[in-house]
Amino acid sequence: MKIHAYERIYLALCAVLIVLGVIAVGMSVFARGVHLPAPHGTILAAEAVKTAPFDNLGLTEVAPGEYQMVMLGQMWQWNPLKGENPNGKDITIPAGSTVTFTITSSDVVHGFMVRGTNINAMVIPGQITEVTYTFDKPGEYLVICHEYCGRFHHKMWGKVIVS
Ligand SMILES: [Cu+2]
């Protein structure tokens, strides 16, 4: 059986594309640390504010340099982050701290993203999302919602300050 020269080139290009694809996925996983956040249980979304740990929102130091940040995504704020929320506050941590964000939504689907990091997770009503990140570089990290959640979606932001 004779394989035409163009066919041979086409097959070679396909093989190269598959190899490049596998390398790209491998680099994302092993070099950049990209992975799917696993769900960490479910609660009743409407009762989120009354359900542990979401009945006590905020930052807690669980070990030296290790923190847990319990947050609630609500239209339209990352409670208890400040952003546009007059009762909220910015969180400040020392450089090198590892923060585990434990988040859920009490209303609609939100998207939790921290600019300049690989934190990017869906926040689904009633589902507990956990993401962990080590903030090595000092600076102000913008927290945004990347899932359109209604009229004031653009006001859903906050800050993590690393000093
Ligand atoms: Cu949103």
pLDDT at site 158: 94
User: Do the beta carbons of residue 140 and residue 61 sit within 8 Å?
Assistant: no
pLDDT at site 37: 67
pLDDT at site 34: 80
Nearby residues for ligand 1 (ion, Cβ within 5 Å): 145, 149, 153, 156
pLDDT tens digits, 8-58: 999 999 999 999 999 999 999 999 888 776 678 888 888 888 888 999 999
Q: From the CA of 33, how far away is ligand 1's center (Å)?
A: 25
* pLDDT class of 125 with cuts at 50, 70, 90: very high
Pair of tokens at residue 106: 């009490």
d(CA 114, CA 108): 19
User: Residue range 75-99: average pLDDT?
Assistant: 91
Q: ω into residue 37 within 30 of 0, thus cis?
A: no
Fold of 39-162: Immunoglobulin-like (2.60.40)
Q: From the CA of 14, how far away is ligand 1's center (Å)?
A: 39
d(CA 66, CA 51): 23
Q: Give me the chain's average pLDDT, please.
A: 92
Q: From the CA of 73, how far away is ligand 1's center (Å)?
A: 9
User: Residue range 123-139: average pLDDT?
Assistant: 94
pLDDT tens digits, 91-110: 899 999 999 999 999 999 99
